[in-house]
Amino acid sequence: MKGISFAAPPTPWSKGLAEPRIDPSAYIHSFSNVIGDVYIGPNVLVAPGTSIRADEGSPFHIGESSNIQDGVVIHGLEQGRFKGDDGKDYSVWIGEDASITHMALIHGPAYVGDRCFVGFRSTVFNAKLGEGCIVGMHALVQDVDVPPRRYIPSGAIITSQQQADRLPEVQQEEEHFASHVVGINEALRMGYRCAESSECL
């Protein structure tokens, strides 16, 4: 089953009633909600209990082969944008092969680069994560531009550019774990889609 998707409601700042655009190869679980001007690319998994709401800040972009796991919330403020990789302005940009893991919050304006990993219950707000960043569990990344391939430890509070610039580079074992999670969720996406087809079973 596909998740429930809606047009954005009419508001003083947006009367366009934009609807989600979801690639046919993506899997959106029926217990998730996708609202408003959201693009979901090929082979994306949106797991149960997620809320992707482009009803205030918009648009959102979720790139190919990314996974949005259980309980994730993606929302955005009316004000504030980041440039996406296509040169257009976005409230939330999530690149390709990214993992937004259980109960994380991505609150726009936010940019999450290709192959980033955002750990359980972490928050990214008004921040940019360069390509290949890994955020541990229960971390806060706010008001900063994190260079590519940096590691934000579990529990860290990164709210100044000086802190962001001093973050260590991602190590091989952390990178291996993140790519493993992407692979697991790709298998889950295929499994969910397979379960919908009696031929596959």
* Active centre residues (catalytic): 56
Q: How far is CA 164 from CA 74, 131, 144, 145, 151, in A?
A: 22, 14, 7, 7, 10
One-letter amino acid for residue 133 of the chain: C
- CA dihedral 56→57→59→62, nearest 10 degrees, is -100
> Where does residue 193 fall: left (phi above 0), alpha (psi -120 to 50 degrees), or beta otherwise?
alpha
Q: Which residue in 146, 113, 150, 114 sits closest to 127, CA to CA?
A: 146
